[in-house]
Structure 1
Amino acid sequence: MAVFSSLWRLLPRSVREVPADLVAVVGVVVATNLAVFAPVVRDTRLRVPLGLAFVLFVPGYAFVAALFPERGTRSVAGADGTNDGGEFETDPFRRRVLADPITDAGRVVLSVASSVAIVPLLGLAIHFSPVAIRLQSIAVVLSAVTVALAVVATVRRRSVPLESRFRTPYRRWVASARTALFDADSRAETALTVLAATTLVLAVGGVGYAVTAPQHGETFTEVSVLTDAGDGERTADVSPSSDGNGSESVIVTLENNERRTVSYAVVAVEQRIASDGDPDNATVLEQNELRRFEPRLAHGETWSHAHDVEPTLTGDAVRVAWLVYAGGDVPATPSLENADYSAHRWVNASTE
């Protein structure tokens, strides 16, 4: 204990004077980020309670604390020298009435309700930003906003006179909980309050889960082969640009929507197709491998690679295909049939 006290005194005074409830807010933010990013912690059950507190209550509490730095109860001293918060009053006969911007119960309700508004709005902001909506991006943005609100709340609370400054009424909360549990007259009211609070938490939890949880819908990888149309624009025109020597410049793009990090193998092959019948379903007469790439993409990440394609096969029906294998394992004979995804385009490889 003495060592802890000594270390505490080493901290700057501005840090030591941060209100305990706002220190707890920052502590939940730090613990939640450890549960999201730390390899060991994120596999434990701590993610569930921390995530619920982080999404359902903490951002809204910091927001309400910044809005209302004053105390939210009316304090009236009694003959025993204590007020209704259990705090000792120096003048037991002096009646002191404080400003009442918000009660303790109202502070809690507003904290939950504010979280309902803050979390979806931040998710919407991320959606319209270049960053993909993932658990990590939600955690980082929500953490930054919550810590910023806690800092504002600390500054505003310090600007309020000490006698009017909000302080967490632990004693009153404990007394209220004891009364609610053991007073028969208040049990029915307590049950209704708990039911209403549970309903509100479930509603907020649904909103928070919809924003922060990964969607387990269809998983796929989008493959495209584009050409540079000039002025920085890309097009899927089937007639790629050529340098006059048979070499064609293309841009291959992969977009990972597999809901996981994937190591890809992209194999570019040239194929001479039997000229009779439908060329899209015709027999491959000859195939040569041209290029191979091995990008590794996180979910939502896009990879683009520009390269030149110079077919060596000749004939009226020659195509270049980009065969994509999610997982990196390439069969001995790559083909459109055994590829996970593919894209191809026909090229002019005539000898004339």
Structure 2
Amino acid sequence: MGVKERMPVDIQIVAAMVLLLDIFVFVLPQSTGFIRAASGMVILLFLPGYVLTSALFPGKDDLEGIERLALSLGLSIVIVPFTGFALNYSPWGITLGPIVAILSIYILFMCVITILRRHQLPEGEAFSISLISVFRAFGHEVTSRRSGLDRALTIFLLFSVILATATITYVLVTPREGEQYTEFYILGMNGTAAGYPAELEIGESGNVILGVKNHEGETVNYRLELRLDNRPLHLAEEYRDIHIEDEGEWENTVTFTPEEEGDNMKLQFLLYRNEDLTEPYRELHLWIDVGGDQDAV
């Protein structure tokens, strides 16, 4: 057998598309966003069901062209959401990287199964594909003498499957805005939401634990500032600029020293995001007395 017989054309195209998407996702994630999204939609929309259909029906007479296409799309509706459901209970969660990795392994494995099954068939009986044969098969289905109702139902079913698959794929690969956020919290020195410093003398230092958790879906540079009654307080330089990767966490002890006396003063902890210093992205505050009786809230 020649090389082309051992590696069918359609399987070559499937493997090439999978490897191309893997490069876009894992090697060039920043510079190829549009291409990555477009190729990812095509692959998730069609290939998982196509390789399963090819493995189940390796013969050219097993299915007609439009039936093979509709079944490929329909099976993708089952496979892709099932993959997302399984990843939801894994440490990786439903994100683009794990979904692409799992589906890539599955698709390439099914490609091997398809090749083996086709090789078991007599010469000339295995399914093969070309663009000309696809268009001819589709045209035959549309222009055949089957009743107009049958043709209409077939076309309606095909486009319904395409629409449903595209919708499910979009939901899986597109993060919802509500899931992108930053946790910003303050703890007392005992590690609980209590025991905050509420009464200090001028020049006396207070300590709290500040924490930041990044759930923004990307690496973020944060900036921390402290204010007492809207006047800046000194903060160690190492705490002013905080670099946190996606799903990363920063937690540290922050020391502040009031320099003015007053009762019921507002101590603000301001968190800015990605060099935007116009408005705080998150804010926390405590009430403290400096040089007087404490009355913290």
Distance (whole Å) between structure 1 residues aligned to residue 291 and residue 87 of structure 2: 50
Distance (whole Å) between structure 2 residues aligned to residue 324 and residue 193 of structure 1: 57
* Aligned counterparts, 1:1-352, within 5 A: 17-33=6-22, 37=28, 41-43=32-34, 47-48=37-38, 50-66=39-55, 68=56, 70-71=58-59, 73=61, 105-131=66-92, 133-158=94-119, 160-163=120-123, 166-168=126-128, 170=130, 173=134, 175-180=136-141, 185-186=145-146, 188=148, 189-217=150-178, 220-226=181-187, 235-239=192-196, 248=207, 250-257=209-216, 262-267=220-225, 269=226, 271=228, 284=229, 287-291=232-236, 292-297=239-244, 301-309=247-255, 311=257, 313=259, 317=264, 321-330=268-277, 338-345=279-286
Residues 238 and 345 in structure 1, CA contact (< 8 A), matched pair in contact too: no
Residues 239 and 347 in structure 1, CA contact (< 8 A), matched pair in contact too: no
Residues 116 and 154 of structure 1, relative CA distance in 2, 3 Å threshold: same
AA aligned to 1:235 is T
Residues 293 and 196 of structure 1, relative CA distance in 2, 3 Å threshold: same
Shift of 1:288: 1.5
Shift of 1:72: 5.6
TM-score normalized by the length of structure 1 = 0.62
Residues 58 and 115 in structure 1, CA contact (< 8 A), matched pair in contact too: yes
AA aligned to 1:28 is M
Residues 49 and 76 in structure 2, CA contact (< 8 A), matched pair in contact too: yes
Q: The residue matched to 2:275 in structure 1 has which SS? A: coil
Q: The residue matched to 1:139 in structure 2 has which SS? A: helix
Shift of 1:197: 0.5
Shift of 1:297: 4.7
Distance (whole Å) between structure 2 residues aligned to residue 225 and residue 130 of structure 1: 27
Q: The residue matched to 2:224 in structure 1 has which SS? A: strand
With a CA cutoff of 8 Å and minimum separation of 6, indicate the structure with the bigger relative contact order: 2
Deviations 1:199-258 (A, max 9, x none): 1111111111111123245864331124676xxxx6333448xxxx9664624123344x
Shift of 1:136: 4.2
Give the structure 2 partner of residue 84 of structure 1. none
Residues 266 and 323 in structure 1, CA contact (< 8 A), matched pair in contact too: yes
- Where structure 1 has 5 or more consecutive residues not aligned to the other structure, the ranges are 1-8, 74-99, 272-283, 332-337
Residues 345 and 161 of structure 1, relative CA distance in 2, 3 Å threshold: same
Q: The residue matched to 1:57 in structure 2 has which SS? A: helix
Residues 308 and 266 of structure 1, relative CA distance in 2, 3 Å threshold: closer
Distance (whole Å) between structure 2 residues aligned to residue 126 and residue 109 of structure 1: 26
Residues 62 and 149 in structure 1, CA contact (< 8 A), matched pair in contact too: yes
Aligned sequence identity (%): 21
Distance (whole Å) between structure 2 residues aligned to residue 286 and residue 204 of structure 1: 56
Residues 262 and 105 of structure 1, relative CA distance in 2, 3 Å threshold: same
Distance (whole Å) between structure 2 residues aligned to residue 151 and residue 346 of structure 1: 67
Higher helix proportion (structure 1 or 2): 2
Structure number with greater Rg is 1
TM-score normalized by the length of structure 2 = 0.71
Residues 18 and 154 in structure 1, CA contact (< 8 A), matched pair in contact too: yes
- How many residue pairs are counted as aligned between the two chains? 279
Distance (whole Å) between structure 2 residues aligned to residue 176 and residue 286 of structure 1: 75
Distance (whole Å) between structure 2 residues aligned to residue 348 and residue 141 of structure 1: 57
Residues 304 and 39 of structure 1, relative CA distance in 2, 3 Å threshold: closer
Q: The residue matched to 1:295 in structure 2 has which SS? A: strand
AA aligned to 2:83 is L
Residues 323 and 152 of structure 1, relative CA distance in 2, 3 Å threshold: farther
Distance (whole Å) between structure 2 residues aligned to residue 153 and residue 57 of structure 1: 16
Residues 225 and 173 of structure 1, relative CA distance in 2, 3 Å threshold: same
Shift of 1:323: 0.9
